[in-house]
Chain A
């Protein structure tokens, strides 16, 4: 099993360019997440999808859009990249169920290191 696969692993963009980060999981998980990691800030939630067909904003959604294409895939789009979006991006998935659970840990992709110049 591949788990969570993210592409690309590295990307350099010029300010104002757009791009889409792709994420796919093969664990049949309902929930998927996009986080960004910045030095000293831990992982901050950008957007999440609790189930196929639904998406919601997280802590830092500005400048991003997402699409839950199907149960497996959850993409993150930067419409007009800014230097402040230079970061490491992680996609994750988990079997989080509504109500009392059970709830599993989140499984993470390998990350995308994005630099906006």
Chain B
């Protein structure tokens, strides 16, 4: 079973639309970390945000916002007023502390296409 599920394989929107990328995770650990990464067409992996399991505060950074809900094991990512430059593959990742080592486990990614 996947520990990180990104059910949306591909999302297509028109510029200026809002879009939410879903991420559902599974863990038995009480201490864990969640991350979002962006992979633009150039191929590099760009870190966007980290959240630890003890901090359920939502976060906003410009047009980006993240909603962390432990009750539903979700860590969703919303882009407001999307732009063509947001077109990329977005990965959600989980890092658990079981066994002492925090190894990032990634979802399969959501490809976001923003049309002008």
Query: Is B16 interfacial (CB-CB < 8 Å)?
Result: no
**B50: which A residues are within 8 A, CB to CB?**
104-105
**Distance between B6 CB and nearest chain A CB, rounded to angstroms:** 8
Q: Chain B, interface size: which category?
A: 20 to 34
Please give me the residue from chain B that is nearest to A45 by CB atom.
B103
Asked if A31 and B101 make an inter-chain contact with CB atoms under 8 angstroms apart, the answer reads yes
Q: How large is the interface on A (under 10, 10 to 19, 20 to 34, 35 or more residues)?
A: 20 to 34
Known contacts A90-B45, A107-B47: does B109 contact A42 (CB below 8 Å)?
yes
Q: How far is the CB of A97 from chain B (nearest CB, A)?
A: 8
Question: Within the complex, what minimum Cβ distance (angstroms) separates A37 from chain B?
Answer: 9
Contacts of B107 in A (CB 8 A): 42
The 10 closest A-B pairs by CB, nearest first: A98-B100, A96-B102, A42-B108, A108-B45, A43-B106, A50-B101, A103-B102, A42-B106, A105-B47, A105-B50
**A43-B91, A98-B100, A105-B35 given; 5 more Cβ-contact pairs under 8 Å:** A31-B102, A42-B91, A42-B106, A45-B103, A97-B102
Residues of B within 8 A of A (CB): 6, 9, 31, 33, 35, 37, 43-45, 47, 50, 52, 91, 93, 95, 97, 100-109
